[in-house]
Amino acid sequence: MRRRLASTVVVLALIAAACGGDTAPVTVPTTDVTPSTLATTTTTAETPTTTADEPTTTTSPASTTTDGTSTTTGGSTTTSEASTTTSEASTTTTTTTSATTTTAATTTTTTTVPETVLTWTEVAEGFGQPVFVTAPPGDSRLFVVDQPGRIWVIDGGDPEVFLDVRSITTYGGERGLLGMAFHPDDPNTFYINHVSAGDTVVAEYRVSGNVADTGSRRVLLTVDQPATNHNGGMIAFGPDGYLWIGMGDGGGSNDKFGQGQRADTLLGSMLRIDVDGDPYVVPSNNPYSDGVDGAPEVWAIGLRNPWRFAFDNGLVYIADVGQGAVEEVSIAPASAAGLNYGWPIYEGDRCFDGPCDTEGTVMPAVSYPHSEGCSITGGYVYRGSALPGLVGHYFYSDYCTGFLRSYKSGSTFDWTDETGSIGAPTSFGLDGFGELYLTSKAGSVYLLTEG
């Protein structure tokens, strides 16, 4: 087959127990168009170029931006970073697919993947800046988060507006409406993460029919943002039933505000809260729940700009955008409290602001240099039914180079020869049945299919 292993696989010591750049500037649409759903357009190596404002179901790409590429923000210029692939844990390492095999470290294993040819199929277009796709488990609808401040629902026809918070959303660059998560026990309750009045706001909404009830808005958390970039933006419910909130280090570059290694700030951290409270409850097993040595909401520290994280089989996969040299994915037990992901002591697997000592630091399972990309777009471990040969593969991409790679059991695979590069991929997402989607800066939504 044409699949091959990514050019470099580095083996690192990782996860005891069980196992960045910055967003490109966003163009604000000046017209109000409606997105559309597409019939069946399959894409091989296409880079979307069209821009629109309101989605539909047609055949062309539109425009979206995300969180990770190089850009100038907050008065300082930040370079984006990108790509090298690495593997996970102990002395393992890796290799490949029918075409090319690469090794690392001392032990080499060759892995073959079942005969599967992958392709991206465009399913909707015309969004302003789509940055996420989601749905409650078992729900046939698809919800598309549009960075300027709207959520669209696709329910068998063209996208329709589900929620419009543009009037209270600060949009531009890395800011805007960035995340969405449905309550695990109540699909009629959902949460958003957006930048409002310049700060991160996590709010709850109720669903009324096939639209959100804007009058039900309940603000859970507001976090002051000292700059315009590194907002994080991902929210997701973990296997523990709590809401996890990924926060960047406050922006600028080089951990300008000194947040990365501090547990007493909500920036540069992974937060974890119980949404069933007023406005929320701090879980008693959060590492600083008493507020003595750190902020009660903090679950982990050492993050620069986590652009998407995901859970699978008791593990959390965190893609953290690098500064100017390395992109990374860290994998750790979701039950492990008080972990340190390294920033700014480490950028990926490289010493950044030492002295550097890996003891007590979660080192990345996957990393790649900026010769291969500039800003990681984290994804998901595939657990759908349409592509049985890929179950257990964690998929990810890069905003600058648009490759499609996956990681499983210490091996990294590159599928880009088959799928082609999608221009400026902003995020991955899952539908209600575990199938994998990708959003692009050009405004389109793609489904990963067998070609």
CA count, 13 A, side-chain hemisphere, 173:
22
Kindly state the average pLDDT of the residues 56-64.
40
The predicted pLDDT at position 78 comes to 34
The predicted pLDDT at position 33 comes to 60
- For the cut 50, the answer to whether the pLDDT of residue 221 exceeds it is yes
Please tell me the least confidently modeled range out of 99-108, 173-182, 361-370, 431-440. 99-108
Is there a contact between 60 and 140 (Cβ–Cβ < 8 Å)? no
Where residue 84 falls among pLDDT bands split at 50, 70, 90?
Answer: very low
Of 293, 415, 450, the closest CA to residue 4 belongs to: 415
Query: What is the per-residue pLDDT across 102-132, written as a single tens digit (0 to 9) for each?
Result: 223 322 233 445 578 999 999 999 999 999 9
Please give the backbone phi and psi of residue 388, each rounded to the nearest 5 degrees, phi first: -60, -30
- For the cut 70, the answer to whether the pLDDT of residue 450 exceeds it is yes
- For the cut 50, the answer to whether the pLDDT of residue 35 exceeds it is yes
What are the tokens at 159?
């996208």
Cα 94 to Cα 172: distance, rounded to the nearest angstrom: 40
- 209's CB contacts (< 8 A; 6+ apart) are none
CB burial of residue 44 (10 Å; 0-12, 13-18, 19+): exposed
Alpha-helix runs per DSSP H in 117-239: none
Q: How far apart are the first and last CA of the chain?
A: 12
The predicted pLDDT at position 116 comes to 84
Find the largest Cα–Cα distance for the chain. 60
The predicted pLDDT at position 120 comes to 97
Where residue 3 falls among pLDDT bands split at 50, 70, 90?
Answer: very low
What are the tokens at 271?
């937060």
Rounded mean pLDDT of the chain?
A: 82
Query: What is the per-residue pLDDT across 303-361, written as a single tens digit (0 to 9) for each?
Result: 999 999 999 999 999 999 999 999 999 999 999 999 999 999 999 999 999 999 999 99
The single-letter DSSP state of residue 112 is: -
Cα 289 to Cα 295: distance, rounded to the nearest angstrom: 7
Is there a contact between 114 and 98 (Cβ–Cβ < 8 Å)? no
Query: What is the per-residue pLDDT across 379-400, written as a single tens digit (0 to 9) for each?
Result: 999 999 999 999 999 999 999 9
Q: CA distances (Å), 332 to each of 26, 315, 336, in order?
A: 32, 5, 7
- For the cut 50, the answer to whether the pLDDT of residue 59 exceeds it is no
More confident residue, 415 or 28: 415
Beta bridge partners of 77: 72
Is there a contact between 408 and 415 (Cβ–Cβ < 8 Å)? no
The predicted pLDDT at position 36 comes to 79
Beta bridge partners of 351: 346
Please tell me the least confidently modeled range out of 28-32, 49-53, 99-103, 337-341. 99-103
What are the tokens at 190?
């959902």
At 267, is the secondary structure helix, strand, or coil?
Answer: coil
Q: Which residue has the tokens 């069980």?
A: 18
Kindly state the average pLDDT of the residues 129-147.
98
DSSP for 369-428 reads ETTS-SSEEEEEE---SS-GGGTTPEEEEETTT---EEEETTEEEE-HHHH-PPSSEEEE
Please tell me the least confidently modeled range out of 43-57, 69-83, 140-154, 286-300. 69-83
The single-letter DSSP state of residue 286 is: S
The predicted pLDDT at position 68 comes to 38
- The one-letter amino acid at 323: Q
Is there a contact between 325 and 370 (Cβ–Cβ < 8 Å)? yes
- 193's CB contacts (< 8 A; 6+ apart) are 177, 178, 179, 180, 200, 201, 202, 232, 233, 234, 235, 245
Where residue 34 falls among pLDDT bands split at 50, 70, 90?
Answer: confident
Query: What is the per-residue pLDDT across 161-186, written as a single tens digit (0 to 9) for each?
Result: 999 999 999 999 999 999 999 999 99
What are the tokens at 398?
């890069």
Is there a contact between 266 and 273 (Cβ–Cβ < 8 Å)? no
Element (H, E) at 159: none
Q: Which residue has the tokens 């370079």?
A: 79
Of 193, 264, 274, the closest CA to residue 232 belongs to: 193
The single-letter DSSP state of residue 27 is: P
The single-letter DSSP state of residue 143 is: E
- For the cut 60, the answer to whether the pLDDT of residue 41 exceeds it is no
In this prediction the pTM is 0.82
Kindly state the average pLDDT of the residues 30-49.
50
- The one-letter amino acid at 435: E
- For the cut 70, the answer to whether the pLDDT of residue 434 exceeds it is yes
- For the cut 80, the answer to whether the pLDDT of residue 440 exceeds it is yes
Is there a contact between 286 and 269 (Cβ–Cβ < 8 Å)? no
